[in-house]
């Protein structure tokens, strides 16, 4: 079982290159099968979730060619099957994007109910509502979602809750529906805009992505394209909070600063110096950081995917901070692990009160999900002692070469598999 072992106490200093956004890339890969022509996608992150989805796409007959670690060519002309096997899907949540893509192009799709991180209920009722509104019959049987339509027709659809997944999924299906679809109360996240831009580069007619209302004029066919995925604002934010927690000085490269506004605002609030450039952001953490209050909200609010990273940082800030989690109810599981490292935290329903401590102590902790896993690594880097993080498979689902990038900033972290590896590491750093 792979683990991370970390010797803390070293401020992170230097520059780190941020990869493509996992959440955008997953939807873009699914959308790539909506044409019979070849699509080239680059700036893909080389992480487990991406590789699983590419296997699933190849599994239904698409031609998938890896040009290099970050570039892939996909041609969906040879797709023969619209039934996505469960083995692939149980591993990742974003598999549901294949529903919208296959339904749009082939008017039929069968996809197993998705898996992914256990961070609370993420119902897909809004997805299904959208597909039904476009004219599809949708059933759930034997753990599978089955959608079929003779034809898809544009509709005016109002989402009951703001959902990134539903916005993207229904947008994909509507791209090839007849007539005009208007989607209201939609998600405005950067990856929604990225997917819309990608579809438009294939000949779709989508307007308004990034606002409250998206208008889609259906087209009969889509064509090939070359497209580069947006940088990952969550990966960037993770390294920015790592700089804050370890009293470091880190510049994240290859980012869109506008996408990081909520993260930057909180870093400034707690006392960090933040410098913005055209495609980079520098975070400097000196002296004592102070407490603040955070509430997670849909974009442009503070992202739920950054909540564990700021939680770890606030646990080292002077004073009392509160975090209100308004998106996923199970997002606080990491705080139990953080308490083992000496954090002073109290959770009541969807709110956490964090009393800042001077420092953490090293401990053995377990990653409950992807972002929490990364946050516990940050905690380990901010201690004086040695921390072991179990279940790092979650972290590898969404961060490329995580330990290598941290080492590049001066972090002392290694991936280990055996007790012997752990002892070797301890001898080396003692």
d(CA 152, CA 162): 23
Coil, strand, or helix at residue 377? helix
Pinpoint the alpha helices (H) of 60-189.
86-89, 97-106, 125-133, 164-175
317 tagged catalytic: no
Structural tokens at position 276:
């913005």
Structural tokens at position 89:
């899907």
Task: Give the single-character DSSP code of 347.
Answer: E
Nearest Cα residue to 172 out of 134, 121, 226: 134
**Contacts of 209 by beta carbon, 8 Å cutoff, 6+ apart:** 171, 192, 193, 195, 196, 197
Q: Provide the Cα torsion 228, 213, 236, 302; round to 10°.
A: -170
Cβ pair 340, 376 in contact under 8 A: no
Q: Which of 117, 272, 317, 377 is catalytic?
A: 117
Encode 85-102: b = buried (16+ Cβ within 10 Å), e = exposed: ebebbbbbbbbbbbbbbb
CA atoms within 13 A on the CB side of 225: 22
Structural tokens at position 186:
């939609």
Query: Please, which residues bridge with residue 408 across strands?
Result: none
Active site residues: 117
């Amino acid at each position: 079982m792979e683990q991370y072992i970390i010797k803390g106490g070293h401020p992170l200093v230097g520059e780190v290159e941020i990869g493509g956004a996992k959440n955008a890339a997953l939807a873009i890969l699914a959308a790539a099968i909506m044409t019979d022509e070849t699509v080239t996608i680059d700036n893909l992150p080389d992480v487990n979730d991406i590789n699983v989805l590419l296997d699933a796409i190849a599994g239904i007959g698409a031609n998938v060619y890896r040009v290099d670690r970050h570039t892939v060519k996909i041609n969906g002309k040879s797709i023969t099957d619209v039934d996505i096997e469960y083995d692939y899907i149980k591993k990742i949540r974003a598999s549901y994007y294949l529903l919208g893509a296959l339904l749009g192009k082939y008017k039929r799709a069968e996809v197993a109910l998705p898996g992914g991180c256990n961070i609370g209920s993420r119902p897909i009722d809004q997805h299904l509502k959208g597909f039904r509104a476009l004219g599809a019959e949708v059933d759930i049987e034997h753990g599978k979602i089955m959608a079929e339509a003779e034809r898809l027709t544009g509709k005016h659809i109002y989402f009951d809750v703001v959902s990134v997944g539903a916005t993207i999924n229904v947008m994909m299906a509507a791209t090839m529906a007849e007539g005009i679809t208007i989607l209201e109360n939609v998600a405005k996240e950067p990856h929604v805009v990225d997917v819309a831009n990608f579809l438009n580069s294939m000949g779709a007619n989508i307007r308004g992505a990034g606002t409250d209302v998206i208008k889609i004029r259906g087209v009969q066919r889509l064509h090939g394209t070359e497209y580069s995925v947006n940088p990952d604002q969550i990966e960037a934010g993770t390294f920015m909070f790592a700089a804050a927690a370890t009293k470091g000085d880190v510049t994240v490269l290859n980012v869109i600063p506008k996408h990081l506004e909520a993260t930057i605002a909180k870093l400034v609030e707690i006392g960090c110096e933040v410098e913005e450039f055209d495609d980079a952001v520098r975070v400097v953490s000196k002296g004592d950081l102070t407490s603040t209050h955070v509430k997670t909200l849909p974009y442009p609010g503070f992202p739920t995917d950054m909540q564990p990273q700021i939680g770890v940082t606030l646990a080292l800030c002077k004073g009392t901070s509160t975090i209100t989690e308004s998106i996923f109810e199970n997002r606080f599981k990491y705080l139990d692990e953080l308490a083992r490292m000496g954090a002073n935290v109290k959770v009541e329903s969807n709110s956490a009160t964090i009393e800042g401590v001077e420092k953490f102590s090293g401990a053995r902790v377990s990653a409950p999900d992807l972002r929490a896993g990364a946050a516990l690594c940050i905690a380990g880097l901010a201690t004086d002692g040695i921390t072991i993080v179990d279940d790092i498979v979650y972290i590898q689902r969404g961060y490329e070469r995580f330990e290598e990038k941290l080492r590049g900033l001066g972090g002392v972290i290694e991936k280990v598999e055996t007790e012997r590896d752990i002892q070797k590491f301890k001898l080396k750093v003692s």
